[in-house]
Amino acid sequence: MNADTFPLAAYLARTGLEALPPATPEGLALLVAAQTRAVAFENLDPLAGRPVAVAREAVLAKILDRGRGGYCFELNGLLGCALEAAGFAFTTRLARVNYRRTEPGPLSHQVFLVDCGGTRWLADAGFGGPGLTEPAPFAPGTEFAQGEARFRLDAAPGGDVQLRREIDGAWADLYLIAGHAILPVDIEVANHFVSTWERSPFRSMFMVARPVDRGFAMIQGTDLVHLDGGFMPVERRPLADAADLRSVLAEVFGVSVEAEIAAAAWLRVNREPGAAA
């Protein structure tokens, strides 16, 4: 998607940018940080039993026209369109999420490697947890800070690279970036799997997150939770019902969700264990 076909005005309005930044390291940092803070991670469609489309036109319509957020394939799909329009050179990789897991999961997370200013950068606007909020030099064996958060990249077997974050004094695995190139069909397959598989966490629990000043806002279980810069909870309140959920999505996360989608998602999360979907 080039600058002529990219819906620039809508993207600027959604992200708060004044213009599409230049294809420089500083421009990359501005672009990723603006989108990450403006467009929340959310999985209301899979919870509501609605299909998730990752075609560019569908992603642009959902996030820019309808005021929704999305999950990694949508959020980074949008970021990829913006990177192309701004003239960045980049490749797409898939990663295995291993945050709070005993072993890596499937290749179900999308990231970008951006070549800019003589450096290769890891860019990710769609992790939905304690992940990056800015680009980071893609240099295995290094540690770096983003605000109060500390991260590190470690080489892994087979050319893979592990991203970790320090949480509560210990290094926590976030995701394992695969060393091999992918094709667009790999995104389609991964998206279909995580959005429709009955045992997918995207189909059973709220995954809603947005960076805020000095921390994160998230929905955990059916609670609205604010976390500090170290990703430790500092405030929590339960959500009352689907209407409260919808209000919080709008006011805290900047996401506009139709009442019927919020109601279906709320019902799914709160159904009795073992009940039919």
Determine, yes or no, domain membership for 252.
Answer: yes
Question: Does 124 qualify as catalytic in the annotation?
Answer: yes
Where residue 70 sits, what CATH number does that domain have? 3.30.2140.20
Residue 143 has pLDDT above 80, yes or no: yes
Closest to 114 (Cα-Cα) out of 79, 142, 146: 79
- The residue annotated as part of the active site, out of 109, 116, 160, 173, is 109
Domain hosting 182: range is: 8-270
In the structure, how many helices (H) and strands (E) does the chain have?
A: 8, 12
Mean pLDDT of 178-194: 97
- The residue annotated as part of the active site, out of 45, 124, 160, 173, is 124
Question: Does 81 qualify as catalytic in the annotation?
Answer: no
As a whole number, the mean pLDDT across the chain is 95
Question: Does 160 qualify as catalytic in the annotation?
Answer: no
Determine, yes or no, domain membership for 3.
Answer: no
Determine, yes or no, domain membership for 159.
Answer: yes
Residue 160 has pLDDT above 70, yes or no: yes
Closest to 90 (Cα-Cα) out of 79, 75, 102, 74: 79
- The residue annotated as part of the active site, out of 72, 81, 160, 173, is 72
Q: In this predicted structure, what is the pLDDT of residue 273?
A: 58
HSE, CB side, 13 Å, CA atoms: give it for residue 210: 23
CA distance 275 to 69: 28
CA distance 162 to 164: 6
Element (H, E) at 195: helix 184-196
Q: In this predicted structure, what is the pLDDT of residue 214?
A: 81
Determine, yes or no, domain membership for 32.
Answer: yes
Determine, yes or no, domain membership for 2.
Answer: no
CA distance 83 to 243: 36
CA distance 248 to 236: 13
* % of the chain with per-residue pLDDT over 70: 97
Determine, yes or no, domain membership for 1.
Answer: no
CA of 84: how far to CAs of 1, 42, 74, 141, 267, in Å?
A: 6, 24, 15, 29, 39
Determine, yes or no, domain membership for 57.
Answer: yes
Q: In this predicted structure, what is the pLDDT of residue 271?
A: 84
Number of domains forming the structure of the chain = 1
DSSP-derived letter for residue 104 is -
Q: Are 266 and 247 in contact (CB under 8 A)?
A: no
For residue range 91-119, list pLDDT tens digits in order: 999 999 999 998 889 999 999 999 999 99
